[in-house]
Chain A
Amino acid sequence: MNLSSSAPTPRSPGLASRIGNFIDRTFQYWTIAPLVITLLLLVAYPSVQLLRMSVSEVDIVKGQTVWTFVGAKHLETALQDPVVPVAFKNTLVFVIAVVIIETILSLLISILVSRSRHLVGLYRTVLLIPLLVPPIAIGTMWRLMYDYNYGFINQALALIGIAGPTWTASPKLAMPSIILVDLWHWTSFMFLIILAGLESQPVELNEAARVDGATETQILRYITLPLLRPTLVTAVMLRTIFAFKVFDEIFLLTGGGPGTATEVISLYIYKVFSGQFRLGYASFLALALALIISVFVIFYRRLAQRTTA
């Protein structure tokens, strides 16, 4: 009898291949696990912490975190805090202004680009740059541009005999100056989305209309723009939601000043958190901001579903 033929029979597979089979059958779960764990640790857990913090005082005493439950105290503080309404108002003014101006500009630019055959690559390349540059570098560039004595703008104005203002240090001009920087940074974002929308439009419709004697303005008014509506809605809603995130450039250019002229809610939350080290109150304000954004996101989802349906 040949003893060497006692290899494993097909009926009882080895442990390794059994594990292999098991992994294969459950591969769906192994591959999603890292994402689920990350979301639990870095999103779900922090969200619960945020809720807890917003009803507590949190202090770090000798390296230990000390929690004291305070209930709705932070709500009362917020209602009496004179900066809160100003910060919300400034944020709203900023968001509305940049969204309206950037929508008009990006629509205009993308229509002009989509009608061009030459130089399209150049326009697209140049307009992509502001979206990838670090916002702090953008802030620094514009600090140099706005500098009262040696900035590009005031030096250019001096050439034609105008004494330039102090821009970011002037209570009246600070917010418009910030808005201009945001236009530089973010107009490209809506431009890229709208241009993608325009380029995906069927050209046959325009040609048919042209054959039928429609003017370019009519084509724009009755074909291009109506077809663009879903893209435009998406772009505007996204830009609105992202505009609430504004922080870096204001931090660097004005720090919220002069006074509270450019104080926005993100910046104020950071100051409460880092400058005053009131973790609980900062978390309460952050939670309030998150709730406002959530309403926007839900509204946006509904709108997006309706316009694409």
Chain B
Amino acid sequence: MRKISFEPIFRHGLLMLVVLFTLVPILFTFATSLKYFRDIISGSLAFTPTLVNYQRLLDPSQSNFLRLTFNSLIVAAGTMVIVLVIASLAAYSLSRFRWRPLWSGLLLGTILFIHMLPPVTFLGPFYLIARALNIYDTVLAVIMGHIVLNLPTATWILLDFFAEIPKELEEAAMVDGASRFESLTRVLLPMIQPGIAAAGALAFIFSWRDFLFSLSLTSTPRGMTIPVGISSFVQEYSIRYGEMAAGAFFAMIPALLLVAFAQRFIIKGLTLGALKG
């Protein structure tokens, strides 16, 4: 008796449009990055693929992109490690011990606050701090900024994971003679590995993505990261589309890898911040 429904076709059709809208800029950029200049301006769909744009981009004698990649990796890895240490210890302390609401509220409130403020607010003071510490134009200055940027999400994710571990487990370890430190490192931290992975992956990617801190706390390739390199390249050589596209696609690789391999962690981490706030 049921009518044949066109609703699913219509529904998936609309959603495919959304998918298309999302993918077209990425695919167009990828295709452009594989084109010779003549194929870019001819605009035809058929072209001879080439890696020349990537070669030029990664050739140290022609561009500083390799140096910037190295900086980006140092900054992202450094940020990730520091943020994970601070956030996991803090999340442990806040979730496993009794704190007066005033203190925990103050800490979590501050964290929420820095998550919401536009990063541009920190520019002036951070610039002066970097100058005073003599780390202006180094990766250290950028890491300093990225710690602030990434602490909130990491802390929320880890708090959530600590909260799910029953208190008895830790107590059992301590009855067996383990110190607090041992029970943290040998019992609790191994149990929240997925949380650490999620928090770490997000800290890495959000450090890798950032533009503003690197832009304002560095001035030479000594401390600059990839986004600043791309931006100055785009503004200097607005006609070199192939290399522009190659740079943009290159910078997207960590994001694409994460989407491919660690999607579930990431979605949880991304939505958690929202629901915690």
Dominant secondary structure of chain B at its interface with chain A: helix
Check A144 against B209 for contact (C-beta < 8 Å): no
Q: Is A65 an interface residue (CB 8 A)?
A: yes
B258 partner residues in chain A, CB cutoff 8 A = 132
- A245 and B119 contacting across the interface, CB-CB below 8 Å: yes
Report the Cα distance A25→B107, complex, angstroms: 21
How far does the alpha carbon of A210 sit from the alpha carbon of B258 in the complex, in Å?
40
Which residues from B are CB-within-8-Å of A141? 25-26, 28-29, 245, 248
Contact A42 B263 (CB under 8 A): no
Chain A interface residue count, CB cutoff 8 Å, equals: 98
Digit string of B119-135 for contact with A (CB within 8 Å is 1, else 0)?
Answer: 11111111111011000
Q: How far is the CB of A32 from chain B (nearest CB, A)?
A: 4
B41 at the interface (CB under 8 A from A): yes
- How many angstroms from the CA of A230 to the CA of B230 in the assembled complex? 40
Contacts A24-B180, A129-B259, A297-B113; A140 near B244 (Cβ below 8 A): yes
Interface size on B, residues (CB 8 A): 95
Asked if B120 and A109 sit within 8 Å, CB to CB, the answer is no
Select one of B11, B43, B226, B231 contacting A116, CB under 8 A.
Answer: B11
Cβ of B126: which chain A residues have Cβ within 8 Å of it? 46
Q: Which residues does A use to contact B, with CB under 8 Å? A: 20, 23-24, 27-29, 31-32, 34-36, 38-39, 42-43, 45-47, 49-50, 53, 58, 60, 63, 65, 108-109, 112-113, 115-116, 118-119, 122-145, 147, 149-150, 152, 155, 158, 184, 188-189, 192-193, 196, 234-235, 238, 241-242, 244-245, 247-248, 251-252, 266, 269-270, 273-274, 279, 282-283, 286-287, 289-290, 293-294, 296-297, 300, 304
17 A-B contacts, Cβ less than 8 Å apart? A28-B93, A49-B128, A132-B209, A133-B209, A133-B251, A134-B208, A134-B255, A136-B228, A140-B244, A140-B245, A140-B247, A141-B248, A144-B28, A152-B28, A193-B274, A273-B123, A297-B113
